[in-house]
Chain A
Amino acid sequence: MGRDHFGNLGRKWTGVLALTLASCLMASPSVAQSDPRAQMRIDFDKAVKGKTVAWVPITMGTPIDQIWTEVMRSHFDKLGVNFILRDPDFDSNAQLQAVTSLINEKPDVLIVQNINVTLLARELKRAMDNGIYVIQVNMMSNQPSDAYVGVDNVDSGRLIAQDIVAECGGGKSSGKVAIVQGEATSAGSLDQLRGAMEVFNADKSITVVSTQAANWDANKANEITATVLRQHPDLCATYGHWGIMQQGAAQAVKAAGLQGKVKVYASSDGPRSDCDLVEEGLFYKILSYRADVGGAQIVDAVLTLLQSGEKPGTKRLTLLSSNFWVTGPQHRHYCYDLSPTQ
């Protein structure tokens, strides 16, 4: 054991010590530029985990709202987001009360599906003024907000109308078309009607004989269509603003013995029953915007807004859903199935 030995040992241990210190420093967050992947997760969790997201649909009783909620919940649970749900059960008064009281609870993000275009306009502005991000889904109000996720309803109207004109116009048939609206003051109906009438008004061979509103109720759609068919037995096509509602109309066409002669169109969110009806021949064609994909888009919007660092109400994001025609069994994958518990 001479000084040399100690020296060598000392150098060795110093080296080990230095290496250990260095690796400790590397692992600590403050020097994290060296591990961006870990930092990504840390930053993400800081922005998203533990945040509160509040969701107010029109009702929890329909497949479209159920699939959105299912998809949202499955993602938010895994990401550690606190997910609150209020169910107005198709009552506009209840939806307004729910949104108003939620704003007072100050969630981080508020997601709404507007029952009509004016009801929540004032409240949504108040939410954004109070530092809450607002996402509008599927049907907008007159108040623009941080994000809109959903289909372009005007475009859906145009697409379906164009197909109807191709099938019914130019003297191929009587040219008579009936439109079955949902809730007339909702964005879903106002915008689809606008897009469709744009196309129909431009074609002289098409006459729109009815634009009755069935208020999203399949039984009412059934009644209305039965009446229209009695008035116009030579109807060429009927276009419904929502697949589930239009199922009632399709059955009325069948009951009148006109299945196959009257073409039944619908804008659909893609529930399995709508695809089934296409395959059974009750629907002629539906345009599906795939609400299951839409659910994931809503989650994306939430994550984007939470990480954006922007003040609510300053920027606007639009995540448009795409439309897909469903004409037969080859398009089954454009429809979704709910979990067995639904």
Chain B
Amino acid sequence: MGRNFGQERVVMCFALLLAAVFTIAVPGFASWDNAMALLRSIAVIGVLGLGMAVVIIGGGIDLSQIVVALVSAGGAALMVNAGFDVSVALLTGLLVALLLGAANGIFVACFGIPSLFATLASALLFMGLARSTVMPSTIINLPPGGGSFLFLGANWSGIPVPVIVFAGCALAVHLFLARTVPGRFIYALGDNPSAAWLAGLPVRWLTVMTFVFAAAIGYLGGLVMVASTAMVDLGTAKSTMVFDVILVAVAGGVSLAGGRGSVASVLAGTMFVGVLLNGMALLDVNSQVQTIIKGSLLLTAIVFDSRLRSQDEEAEQQGV
């Protein structure tokens, strides 16, 4: 993990530098309200990024994360609409997410399908199954008044709840990865699966676990999204949001080769994107131009990172 530390630091420095520049140059940036607005805007991507990071550290990737998030949150919304108690609805949604995550894990671990392809196909499968059975509508509105579901989108003594959810997830994932045995094993799995297998680690279970974890965290992200708009819009699954999530995780230092990265990486990547987008919004920059600048700066971060690394690049270049 030693070599990777550099990238997180670089990106975090970038973010702090930007924040400093904006504080001086942009009026209104350095205020509590704006900070909260900033954090709220990146909370969902941040939460999803945490889940994605766990999968990537374990050596895989999950392109179906948005679909799983929306379908499971949609399931919870359907239950609320059908009159079930909110806690029952939330639990059902969680079960759906865990099931879908386990399915992903099984496709990858037991059938040996490469995770890039498996999750690409499972995204189609999950969305299709949901749409052709319980969710024929791409739009599901929460009942008027929404009930306690909506607290996830609201504010709690001045702090937006999505931010609290993000902070909570970050803490939970950090404890899991850094302090628990399965967490350490996931690093081993991603770093060198053959060695992990030879060392006796239950590689299949670990793989399934990473996908289940990503799905559960994705579910939380989905709930926050749904609570923020008081509706489920399945159309979002067709957007490029999943690529944004991957980019946020990876730019912060989680390596696609597996075995490297941490919660700090995701936080660094998310803060960088959040500060950037917030500052540009205050500067009245067009939304698409914002994305272009974001993409370009991330490219720069990637270039920077490759310059800092060692030069055994042939090994690293292969297919990644």
Identify the A interface with B (CB < 8 A). Answer: 59-63, 66, 90, 212, 215-220, 222-224, 226-227, 230-231, 244, 247-248, 251, 255-256, 273, 276, 279-280, 342
Contacts and interface: CB of A to CB of B under 8 A. Distances in A.
B308 to A, nearest CB: 33
A246 to B, nearest CB: 11
Contacts of B305: none
A247 B230 contact: yes
B131 A279 contact: no
A219 B226 CA distance: 9
A217 B144 contact: no
B139 A61 contact: yes
A230 B153 contact: no
12 contacts: A62-B138, A215-B239, A216-B235, A218-B229, A218-B233, A219-B225, A220-B239, A226-B40, A226-B41, A231-B284, A255-B154, A276-B144
A142 to B, nearest CB: 25
A88 B136 CA distance: 14
B141 interface: yes
A255 B228 contact: yes
Nearest to B284: A231
Contacts of A59: 138
Contacts of B230: 247, 251
Interface in B77-131: 131
Contact of A63 (B137, B229, B277): B137
Contacts of B281: 227, 230-231
Nearest to A244: B139
B23 interface: no
Contact of B278 (A219, A220, A230, A279): A230
Given A61-B234, A227-B281, A279-B144, A217 B131 contact: no
Interface of A is mostly: helix
Contacts of B284: 231
Interface of B: 34, 37, 40-41, 131, 136-139, 141, 144-145, 153-154, 160, 225, 228-231, 233-236, 238-239, 277-278, 281-282, 284, 286-287, 290
A69 to B, nearest CB: 11
Given A219-B229, A273-B141, A255 B153 contact: yes
Contacts of A222: 228-229
Nearest to B135: A61
B229 A217 contact: no
Given A217-B235, A244-B231, 9 more contacts: A61-B138, A90-B138, A227-B290, A247-B230, A248-B229, A255-B153, A255-B228, A276-B141, A276-B144
B280 to A, nearest CB: 9
A255 B139 contact: no
Contacts, number: 89
A280 B139 contact: no
Contacts of A218: 139, 229, 231, 233, 235
B228 A280 contact: no
Contacts of A63: 137, 139
Contact of A61 (B136, B145, B228, B229): B136
Contacts of B131: 61
A231 B278 CA distance: 10
Contacts of B154: 255
A230 B34 contact: yes
Nearest to B288: A212
A230 B287 CA distance: 12
Given A61-B234, A222-B229, A224-B287, A255 B40 contact: yes
A120 B169 CA distance: 47
Contacts of B278: 230
A296 to B, nearest CB: 22
Contacts of A276: 141, 144
Contacts of A216: 235
A217 B232 CA distance: 10
Contacts of B41: 223, 226-227
B233 A251 contact: no
A63 B138 CA distance: 9
Nearest to B290: A227
Nearest to A217: B235
Contacts of A230: 34, 37, 278, 281-282
A219 B277 CA distance: 17
A217 B239 contact: yes
B245 to A, nearest CB: 14
Contacts of A279: 144
A231 B282 contact: yes
A220 to B, nearest CB: 7
B185 to A, nearest CB: 36
A63 B298 CA distance: 39
Contact of A247 (B229, B277, B290): B229
A255 B227 CA distance: 11
Given A251-B228, A251-B229, A66 B137 contact: yes
A251 B232 CA distance: 13
